[in-house]
């Protein structure tokens, strides 16, 4: 058990982490930018440290300042929450190098599942069904045309490093692909610093279902059921519910156990979310994995009582 942890985030998730730590008898240090001075979550922490000006890249994304604050305040661990540095493998590695525990998966696991193409390969190798696609990065428009023809339209262009719908385009035919390829690559480069794209078959009428998993450091994993998040706007989830109204108990248990075993087998630890598309015939296809605490984790907490 840690004596003191640093909470490397702000707002609602920072407050949740602080309160959870307090319930476990763990002291907390909250960091904040100049713009958040006097914010309400800071009042509940045992100590606070200003880490920079309002701009996120000079405060909440400044790994050096955050780790320096952790060392100066005697923290044994840093909790990243979600967003900011939560899925940053370099930050996780730097924390470990400085003898500070990163509360989340290790840097190798973050890198492995953070790359969407590599994540699909990893889960497919573990026997988890994946959406038919290019199987890797498409290096240019000609390669994309060839892969789309092989897969069959409609297809989705997706950013390898993407999320939140950025760098994603639905292509009903080759003319759509020709127009969208450059746009998606530029958008992905601006958003993620990586314009690499891959292709997936577009599953019409699919539903978005995700499994919450927890893994320890000894190769064991469990699942906490699924969440349904099909009601979205511009690829952003609006409503989450659990259990899914279209998931039966047999499928839930079977796929949940397979996913938990597969994720644990790659050395993953801590919380993670494995996202699937459910086709009209009930088939589940792996899409991606979030190597962090999910924004919607309270839904699972309310259902399970954890």
Residue positions annotated with a catalytic role: 292
Q: Backbone phi, then psi, for 261, in 5-degree steps?
A: -65, -45
Where are the extended beta strands (E) located within 217-269?
A: 221-228, 232-233, 236-237
**E-assigned strand segments in 93-251:** 101-102, 155-159, 169-171, 197-201, 207-215, 221-228, 232-233, 236-237
Q: Are 159 and 184 within 8 A, CB to CB?
A: yes
Q: Which two tokens stand for residue 53?
A: 């000006």
Q: Under 8 Å CB-to-CB from 86, ≥6 apart: which residues?
A: 9, 80, 104, 292, 293
127: left (phi over 0), alpha (psi -120 to 50) or beta: left
Confirm if 155 and 202 have CB atoms less than 8 A apart.
Answer: yes
């Amino acid at each position: 058990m840690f004596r003191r942890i640093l909470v490397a985030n702000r707002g609602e998730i920072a407050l949740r982490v602080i309160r959870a730590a307090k319930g476990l008898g763990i002291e907390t240090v909250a960091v904040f930018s100049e713009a958040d001075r006097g914010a309400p979550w800071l009042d509940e922490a045992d100590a606070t440290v200003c880490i920079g000006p309002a701009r996120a890249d000079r405060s909440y994304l400044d790994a050096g300042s955050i780790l320096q604050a952790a060392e100066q305040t005697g923290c044994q661990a840093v909790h990243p929450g979600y967003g900011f540095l939560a899925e940053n493998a370099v930050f996780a590695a730097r924390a470990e190098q400085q003898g500070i525990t990163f509360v989340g998966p290790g840097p190798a696991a973050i890198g492995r599942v953070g790359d969407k193409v590599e994540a699909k390969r990893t889960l497919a190798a573990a026997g988890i069904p994946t959406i038919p696609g290019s199987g890797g990065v498409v290096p240019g428009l000609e390669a994309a045309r060839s892969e789309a023809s092989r897969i069959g339209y409609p297809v989705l262009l997706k950013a390898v490093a993407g999320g939140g719908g950025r760098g994603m385009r639905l292509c009903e035919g080759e003319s759509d692909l020709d127009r969208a390829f450059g746009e998606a690559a530029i958008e992905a480069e601006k958003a993620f610093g990586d314009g690499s794209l891959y292709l997936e078959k577009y599953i019409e009428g699919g539903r978005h279902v995700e499994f919450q998993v927890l893994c320890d450091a000894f190769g064991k994993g469990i699942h906490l059921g699924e969440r349904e998040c099909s009601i979205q706007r511009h690829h952003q989830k609006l409503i989450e519910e659990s259990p899914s109204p279209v998931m039966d108990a047999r499928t839930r248990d079977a796929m949940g156990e397979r996913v938990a075993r597969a994720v644990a087998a790659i050395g993953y630890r801590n919380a993670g979310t494995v996202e699937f598309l459910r086709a009209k015939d009930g088939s589940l296809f792996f899409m991606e994995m979030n190597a962090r605490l999910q924004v919607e984790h309270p839904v699972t907490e309310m259902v399970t009582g954890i």
